[in-house]
Amino acid sequence: MHVSTSISTQTLPRTSRNSRVIALSVAAVLALTLAGCKKQPGADVVASVNGHAISRTDLDHSFEDAQRSKQDPQPETEEQTKSDKLQILRTLIDGEIIEQRAAKMNLTATNEEVDAKLTEMKAHYTEEQFAELLKQSGRSIDEVRRDLRRQITLDKLLNKEINSKINVTDPEVLAFYNAHKADFNLIEDKMHLAQIVVTGAPAAPQQGAGNLQGSKASNPTDALKKIQTLKAQLDSGADFGAVAANYSEDPETAPNGGDRGFVPLSQLRQDPQLFEVLNKLTAGENTPIMPVTPPGSKAPVGYVIYRLISKEAAGQRDLNNPAVQQSIRDQLRNTREQLLKGAYLEMLRDQAKVENYYAEEIFKAGSGS
């Protein structure tokens, strides 16, 4: 005969039942209390991504870099400072998410890849010239290597996940041309220009590119020394677009290799000296170093080198023109790439466990919580 070994609380003496109920209640309260107790981060931790900490030191350092990049920095209120730091922290969080994703896919840049990129950067400099650029940037070689690793890693991830999947078809090119045909009808002669700009205003390195581009000279004299070094690099055969992307201080054109696009001759003629120099160039040639002088001022605030990419005569550009086709493909690809990159990053954010302690800190202080 089977005998049950379980004992219902209904068969226990009253005292035993009460003790068990109390014990269960205490256990439940303890469980809820422990569940509600969130492990507090250290004082130097402002956020974590999947358990990996982002330090307050890194946030403060990035904020200081951003402040130095402002042409005319003004004193900020405490609220504005916190707002700026929140935005910077979001960028740091996104960077950590991307690095973790790349590591998971075995796409983290190797030491050999970093060394090769660094060698490429230094190829057209003497050791003394490169050391001077580092000095002007206020950065160490280890910091440059760190940023190179991040940029190479990001490129490898995006190439695998996004760029390799983008395909621009001939029908898409044709449809774009038909929809924007007027854009390829030049009403006057234009010059397609690129530029490298160096100014005398101090600024910080730009995010993401493992380069020295943001390290602006502290005064016009330093700016002249820097652009003379860059001119020597160009004269030695360095690629203009690469130099501009790495070292130009114009945030609008540097990411595109210094490309300014097509500039009407009527606009260029407003600066007779510049127009005279440009008009003597043939496609692929560079100007000498030219000063950047504001109207009404005699002292230059910086220096620039222009490159003439092409001269374009007025008239309708046909789709059979290879340059027109390439321009359309580049524009379609870039637009699609930006869209997919934004969607991809949102997906990675959704999959990551992010804890923004700095945001909680601000909210509690401001709300009196």
- For 85, residues 6+ apart whose C-beta sits below 8 A from its C-beta are 59, 63, 358
Which of left, alpha, beta for 315 (phi over 0: left; psi -120 to 50: alpha)?
left
Backbone angles phi, psi at 105, to 5 degrees: -95, 10
The arrangement of secondary structure in 181-326, i.e. its CATH architecture, is Roll (3.10)
Partners of 319 in the beta sheet? none
- The answer to whether 231 touches 305, Cβ cutoff 8 Å, is yes
Instruction: Let me know if 104 is exposed, middle or buried by CB neighbors in 10 A (0-12, 13-18, 19+).
Output: exposed
Structure token digits, residue 215: 């390290």
The tens-digit pLDDT sequence of the chain (369 residues) is 433 333 333 444 444 445 544 444 444 444 444 444 556 677 899 999 999 999 999 899 888 877 765 555 567 788 999 999 999 999 999 999 999 999 999 999 999 999 998 988 787 677 887 887 777 666 788 888 988 898 899 889 999 999 898 999 999 999 999 999 998 888 999 999 999 999 865 443 333 333 344 445 546 777 888 888 888 878 878 889 888 887 898 888 888 889 998 899 999 999 999 999 999 999 999 999 999 888 777 788 889 999 999 998 899 989 998 989 998 998 899 889 889 989 999 999 999 999 999 999 999 988 766
Return the bridge partners of 316, or none: 185
pTM: predicted TM-score of the whole model, two decimal places:
0.62
Cα end-to-end span (Å), the chain: 64
- Facing residues of 192 across strands? 262, 310
Residue 220 near residue 287, CB atoms below 8 Å: no
